[in-house]
């Protein structure tokens, strides 16, 4: 029997597997629904969009509705060892001190900026110049884009003319301004948490990795997690553990599994015919992601990534690991405060790519262009992850509820982001290469028309969080030690526990959470469970619990 079971082998699962096997004291089982990350588009940095809707993608989707606007939103999530870290744009970001101070102020004690900044530094191995607070000896290899496109360099210079710039780097402290992206690369290839943590951990005899296995439910006996039930090749198998189960399935997978395990809103579970093990109303609630709309500008240059798949570029990458295919595609980022910012921290990001972003990344560029995509990084709107069926294996129902806050705060910030993007596009030196706005172009002139265009084109940056909120109140799904309230021996250590979405690209934040979770779990007195939920739990003590 294993001591610990980890569900999900993405960024969080990879970090947990390495850290919880390092001492040799724990026998760990890591379970992943996908398989090996074998596609060449995993390692080729610019190839990540080729993985969308493929065999290494869960293929989730969401519907965005507003009046007569109804459109599908692509929700790519990695279904492989390494998870979404093996199909993202590889941007490495600690995010903003205000994010973590906000978590702590709202009940996540021990998760302030001062509490977490040391973990970020300890995990990274930064190449090149950087401030003293940056890490140099960690597992996560980080480097600025090695050979950014001339348009990306021009974008940074133009954005710095329009925006306040707070320094030479955006990691390590507060930030506002524009920079070439720092990315998870090594030798011209993607170097994800899979490479940094899971590959070396798999050499240890106290780690077992089970691939192609979908966990259908957490097994609970007398208020304690004792294992999981797994579907593998159509066969149901039970795995028990001595210390507990750690959920690392992400903001979609973790609430999905809890709900199928009878841990969630009892009323909703009852409607689906699922017996409630524990009434936890917030499971699957609070979903956040960063809304994005791509503004496309035609350029007089003929060396954009429209040519990325040419024979010459392919040979340059194969022979030297350089050129367009060695790019992470999102080569530059900028952050700014809107007039509606509620605290001294950015609420707008402007993402830059030296190509035409087309059809949510599913379609190749058709013209020489560049894209500036305004992103709302501190949204108020929240959505849900729910079940469509009591049968495990069917996709979750994902409703981002984008731009839907009643005060229209999110929409107003997005409109301001578009105005900033247009200013940057015409500022020197980038403006010298631009020959006109292609999308949305000249048609949407009024605020109402532009808002309509936003609803017809909005997508996300693939940063889902906050569906199993951490806090010190009994309504939170996990406490600040990441223990699921009311169930002993059950932890969550992924993006779902974030009380609110951070201002930026959160892969490094997920790794930080998993690193700190591993320490908390190793220090835990597993006999002292469960952490309290509320008086509701007292009333439910007589319930029968699911068993093997």
| Complete domains list, the chain, with CATH | 1-64+75-143+183-286+463-548 (3.50.50.60), 146-180+291-378+403-457 (3.30.410.40)
Task: Tell how far CA 318 is from the center of its chain.
Answer: 29
Q: How far apart are CA 351 and CA 296, in angstroms?
A: 12
Dihedral angle over CA of 37, 39, 43, 46, nearest 10: -130
Residues 292, 402: Cα–Cα separation, whole Å: 10
Catalytic, out of 96, 149, 455, 463 = 463
What is the Cα–Cα distance from 450 to 452, expressed in whole angstroms?
5
Helix (H) or strand (E) holding 3: strand 2-7
Q: Which of 86, 92, 89 is nearest to 46 (CA)?
A: 89
Low-confidence ranges of the chain (pLDDT < 70): 525-548
Predicted structure pTM score? 0.95
Which distant-in-sequence residues (6+ apart) come within 8 Å of 388 by Cβ? 394, 395, 396, 397
* Omega cis (within 30) before 429: yes
Instruction: Match 């065999």 to its residue by tokens.
Output: 55
H-run or E-run covering 464: none
CA dist 489 and 487 (Å) reads 7
The residue among 124, 104, 123 whose CA lies nearest residue 115 is: 104
Q: What letter does residue 465 receive in the DSSP assignment?
A: B
Distances in whole angstroms, Cα of residue 545 to Cα of each of 219, 227, 230, 492, 527: 8, 13, 18, 20, 19
In 3D space, the residue among 376, 397, 386, 394 whose CA is nearest the CA of residue 463 turns out to be: 376
pLDDT in tens, 368-398: 999 999 999 999 999 999 999 999 989 999 9
The residue behind tokens 């920079």 is 179
Number of CB atoms found within 10 A of residue 222's CB: 9
pLDDT of the residue at 352: 98
Residue indicated by tokens 């706005």: 437
Residue 471: per-residue pLDDT: 98
Long-range residue pairs from 417-421, CB within 8 A, at least 24 positions apart, any chain: 417/338, 417/348, 417/350, 417/374, 417/375, 417/376, 418/293, 418/295, 418/374, 418/450, 418/454, 420/162, 420/163, 420/336, 420/348, 420/350, 420/374, 421/295, 421/350, 421/372, 421/373, 421/374
Q: How far is CA 47 from CA 128, 316, 329, 372, 462, in A?
A: 25, 15, 9, 20, 16
Tens digits of per-residue pLDDT, 215-270? 999 999 999 999 999 999 889 999 999 999 999 999 999 999 999 999 999 999 99
**C-alpha to C-alpha distance for 3 and 432, rounded to whole angstroms:** 61
pLDDT for the residue 548: 29
Give the per-residue pLDDT at 74. 94
- In angstroms, the CA 236 to CA 213 distance is 10
Q: What is the pLDDT of residue 542?
A: 27
Active site residue 260: no
Contacting residues for 267 by C-beta, under 8 A, at least 6 apart: none
Can you give the pLDDT at residue 541? Answer: 33
3-class secondary structure per residue, 335-402: EECCCCCCCCCCCEEEEEECCCCEHHHCECCCCCEEEEEEEECCCCCCEEEECCCCCCCCCCEEECCC
Closest C-alpha among 430, 424, 403 to residue 415: 403
Which helix H or strand E contains 4, and what residues bound it? strand 2-7
């Amino acid at each position: 029997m294993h001591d610990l079971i980890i569900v999900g082998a993405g960024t969080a699962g990879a970090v947990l597997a390495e850290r919880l096997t390092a001492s040799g004291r724990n026998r760990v089982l890591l379970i992943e629904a996908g398989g090996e990350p074998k596609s060449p588009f995993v390692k080729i940095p610019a190839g990540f969009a080729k993985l969308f809707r493929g065999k290494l993608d869960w293929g989730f989707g969401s519907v965005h509705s507003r009046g007569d606007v109804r459109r599908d939103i692509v929700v790519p999530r990695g279904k492989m060892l390494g998870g979404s870290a093996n199909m993202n744009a590889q941007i490495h970001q600690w995010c903003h001190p205000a994010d973590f101070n906000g978590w702590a102020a709202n009940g996540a004690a021990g998760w302030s900026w001062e509490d977490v900044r040391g973990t970020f530094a300890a995990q990274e191995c930064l190449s090149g110049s950087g401030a003293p607070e940056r890490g140099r000896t960690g597992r996560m290899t980080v480097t600025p884009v090695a050979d950014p496109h001339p348009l990306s360099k021009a974008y940074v210079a133009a954005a710095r003319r329009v925006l306040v710039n707070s320094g030479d780097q955006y990691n390590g402290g507060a930030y506002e301004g524009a920079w070439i992206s720092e990315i998870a690369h090594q030798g011209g290839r993607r170097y994800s948490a899979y490479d940094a943590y899971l590959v070396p951990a798999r050499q240890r005899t106290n780690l077992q990795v089970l691939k192609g296995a979908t966990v259908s439910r957490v097994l609970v006996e007398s208020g304690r997690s004792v294992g999981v039930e797994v579907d593998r090749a159509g066969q149901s198998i039970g795995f028990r553990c001595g210390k507990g189960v750690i959920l690392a399935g992400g903001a979609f997978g973790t609430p999905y599994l809890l709900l199928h395990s009878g841990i969630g809103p009892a009323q909703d579970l009852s409607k689906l015919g699922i017996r409630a093990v524990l009434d936890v109303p917030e499971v699957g609630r609070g979903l956040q992601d960063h809304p994005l709309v791509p503004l496309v500008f035609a350029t007089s240059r003929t060396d954009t990534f429209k040519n990325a798949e040419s024979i010459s570029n392919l040979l340059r990458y194969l022979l030297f690991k350089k050129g367009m295919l060695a790019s992470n595609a999102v080569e530059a980022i900028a952050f700014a405060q809107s007039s509606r910012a509620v605290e001294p921290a950015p609420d707008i990001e402007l993402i830059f790519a030296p190509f035409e972003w087309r059809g949510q990344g599913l379609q190749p560029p058709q013209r020489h262009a560049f894209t500036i995509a305004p992103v709302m990084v501190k949204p108020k709107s929240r959505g849900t992850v729910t079940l469509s069926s009591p049968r495990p294996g069917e996709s979750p129902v994902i409703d981002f509820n984008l731009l839907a806050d009643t005060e229209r705060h999110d929409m107003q910030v997005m409109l301001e982001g578009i105005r900033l993007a247009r200013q940057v596009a015409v500022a020197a030196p980038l403006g010298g290469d631009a020959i006109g706005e292609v999308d949305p172009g000249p048609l949407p002139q009024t605020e109402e028309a532009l808002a309509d265009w936003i609803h017809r084109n909005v997508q996300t940056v693939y940063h889902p969080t906050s569906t199993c909120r951490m806090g010190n109140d009994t309504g939170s799904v996990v406490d600040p030690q990441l223990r699921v309230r009311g169930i002993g021996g059950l932890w969550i250590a992924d993006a779902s526990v974030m009380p609110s979405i951070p201002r930026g690209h959160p892969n490094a934040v997920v790794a930080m959470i998993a690193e700190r979770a591993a320490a908390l779990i190793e220090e835990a007195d597993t006999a002292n469970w469960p952490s309290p939920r509320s008086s509701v739990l007292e009333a439910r003590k007589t319930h029968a619990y699911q068993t093997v």
